[in-house]
Amino acid sequence: MLIYSTVFSLYLYFCVLLMSQQKQNVDIYSFYINSTVTSRYATTVITSRVANTLNESQGIQFEVKIPKNAFISKFRMTIEGKTYDGVVKEKEEAQQQYNQAVSRGQSAGLVKSVGRTLEDFKTSVTVAAFSKVTFELTYEELLKRRLGKYELLINAQPMQPVADFKMDVHIQEKPGISFLEVKGDLSTGDLTNAIKITRADKDAWVTFYPTRDQQTTCRSCGENGLNGDLLITYDVERQNPQGEVVVSNGYFVHYFAPSDVSRIPKNVVFIIDRSGSMHGKKIDQTRLALLRILSDLDEDDHFGLITFDSEVSLWKRELLKATETNLENAKSFVKEIRDRGATDINAAVLAGVDMISRHPREGTASILILLTDGDPTSGETNIDKIMANIKEAIGTKFPLYCLGFGYDVNFDFLTKMSLENGGVARRIYEDSDADLQLQGFYDEVAVPLLSDIQLKYPGGTKLTKTSFSLYFNGSEIVVSGQITDNSVESFTTEVIKSSNVTYKDTIMTKDPRDVPPENEDFMQRLWAYLTVKQLLERQVLLKEQEKEDEKKEALKLSLKYQFVTPLTSMVVTKPQEGEVEVADKPKEGEEPSRHQGKN
């Protein structure tokens, strides 16, 4: 341990030394971040121009943080008028190229995961004395609606104050923008004055042009300049309950988020892990979150509480109505939850399924929420058997959501089990705000508005996911696809709720006002982005041929659209003879990792 920390301090010291050296001898004379959002599809370009102010050649670094949900789609370096473009290749192929480079003793760069929401892209290149280099990185993402808003997160950390720093964001939303807010550390202190928001009916522009001096003044900034995020949140107008359809160049996207419906009472069962590993802060935060969640239940909701270690304890055998008395009793039960014992996920979830299945479900939405921080260690511990048992018991009647607390959970297992049962898995990060993360997740599923939703597009093909078990207030259903016959004049969407056509809409596809010509192909990219995301997500559910086929399809699209996904890597060939770097997308929950070639 002592040796480790000594080595680590040395390493830190070395890094600080390197950084301060770089700071003196390189001048980042311009740094631009340019983000365009068209119908929730965000394309962000970061351009950094750097001069080597030293009288000899040296390595110059480019390091930026991008949202985890995004796919890098372009990287380019320009040195002395020559451009070097990154090329996206199948992972194995890229790896081979990288291995060859490593065996020749050259370095490799990577994207690594940092924190909850960001990934770190880092590369460096040798630049001759008094020469300049331009780095340009592009990434793309579809903004997801959560709790009634979209969030565009932009990180800026150029490592030194920059004479010419500009961030330009342009948001264009056809139905109009209902509200827009700019938050984040970069909007604190003196920097507030550097932000300008301009709004028109369907457009919003946010510019952030801090002076060199201002760049050292925000909460998280210092003598190394800007260091933090700008978070732009907004929502769009929803005049049309049928949703919004955008059509462009043979592709369409349908955003469906009706607000003209009333909530469905819900039956919710919380299955809470109280095994020994939940000890301390985790169990405290869980209790805190549960108490608040209970307070948020509506009177016509029904709820159940199950805690488990190697034994399963039910608060009550039946679901009870969320009356004041019942809630008070439940809260007393929650306050007494203590950690102990092992983890019997199988028995606990089956008890939850049984409880919810015995409750009448007519006109209500049922939801099962499992919170655990570990692997099954008691009762049935075979993961495949647990999944089979639970799938059979639930039988597609209601969704199971799994919350994995910390990094000791088998998150792949939780993801697979949730997806198999119509839900999603979410990681809860061990941190001071874990209780808020838990509550935030609950808030997203707190108000079910529609159940058993099918979307139909008679003129569409290659559709992304079209059936959803529940639609929650504040979220949004998104379907994209290709238009079968591009010469048709109109396009029809149909939303079927519980076997009854609820929303039907026909739009004219030849509306020239739809999409500005400069980003006509964004729709195709949006479709590709969503398709790849969903194909990759489904991988855990599929077997054999089907799994291979879908993987192949995801790879094909990743290559065609040059997305750095878990199946592809970006190979960057540098000016120095044969020097190659490979950028990979890190896996969710992966501890920061790095292949480093010998230098």
Ligand X SMILES: *[C@@H]1O[C@H](CO)[C@@H](O)[C@H](O)[C@H]1NC(C)=O
- Write out the residues near ligand X by the rule CB under 6 A: 32, 34, 36, 55-56, 148, 166, 168, 262-263, 447, 473-474, 500
Select 36 or 215, whichever has its Cβ closest to ligand X. 36
Rounded Cα gap, residues 384 and 396, in angstroms: 18
Q: Across the strands, what pairs with 270? A: 305, 369
Smallest distance from ligand X to CB 393, Å: 28
Select 64 or 355, whichever has its Cβ closest to ligand X. 64
Smallest distance from ligand X to CB 35, Å: 8
Rounded Cα gap, residues 553 and 562, in angstroms: 14
Smallest distance from ligand X to CB 33, Å: 9
Contact in structure between 377 and 342 (CB atoms under 8 Å): yes
Smallest distance from ligand X to CB 198, Å: 15
| Tokens read off for 43 | 């394309």
Smallest distance from ligand X to CB 27, Å: 16
Select 296 or 546, whichever has its Cβ closest to ligand X. 296
Strands (E), 57-131: 58-67, 71-79, 82-85, 87-90, 111-114, 118-127
Select 236 or 555, whichever has its Cβ closest to ligand X. 236
Q: What's 262's DSSP letter? A: P
- Give the 3-state secondary structure of 323-386: CHHHHHHHHHHHHCCCCCCCCCHHHHHHHHHHHHHCCCCCCCEEEEEEEECCCCCCCCCCHHHH
Rounded Cα gap, residues 17 and 215, in angstroms: 22
Smallest distance from ligand X to CB 444, Å: 11
Select 124 or 473, whichever has its Cβ closest to ligand X. 473
Select 303 or 405, whichever has its Cβ closest to ligand X. 303
Q: What's 189's DSSP letter? A: G
Smallest distance from ligand X to CB 518, Å: 6
Helix, strand, coil shares of the chain, percent, nearest 5, are: 30, 40, 35
User: Which residues lie below 8 Å from residue 232, measured CB to CB, with a gap of 6+?
Assistant: 151, 152, 153, 154, 169, 171, 180, 181, 182, 206
Select 325 or 499, whichever has its Cβ closest to ligand X. 499
Q: Which residues of 479-510 are buried (b: 16+ CB within 10 A; e: fewer)?
A: bbbbbeeeeeeebebbbbbeeeebbebebebe
Smallest distance from ligand X to CB 235, Å: 8
Cα angle: 44, vertex 45, 46; to 5 degrees: 120
Return the number of other C-beta atoms located less than 10 Å from residue 442's C-beta.
Answer: 21
Select 116 or 212, whichever has its Cβ closest to ligand X. 212
Select 166 or 456, whichever has its Cβ closest to ligand X. 166
Smallest distance from ligand X to CB 297, Å: 13
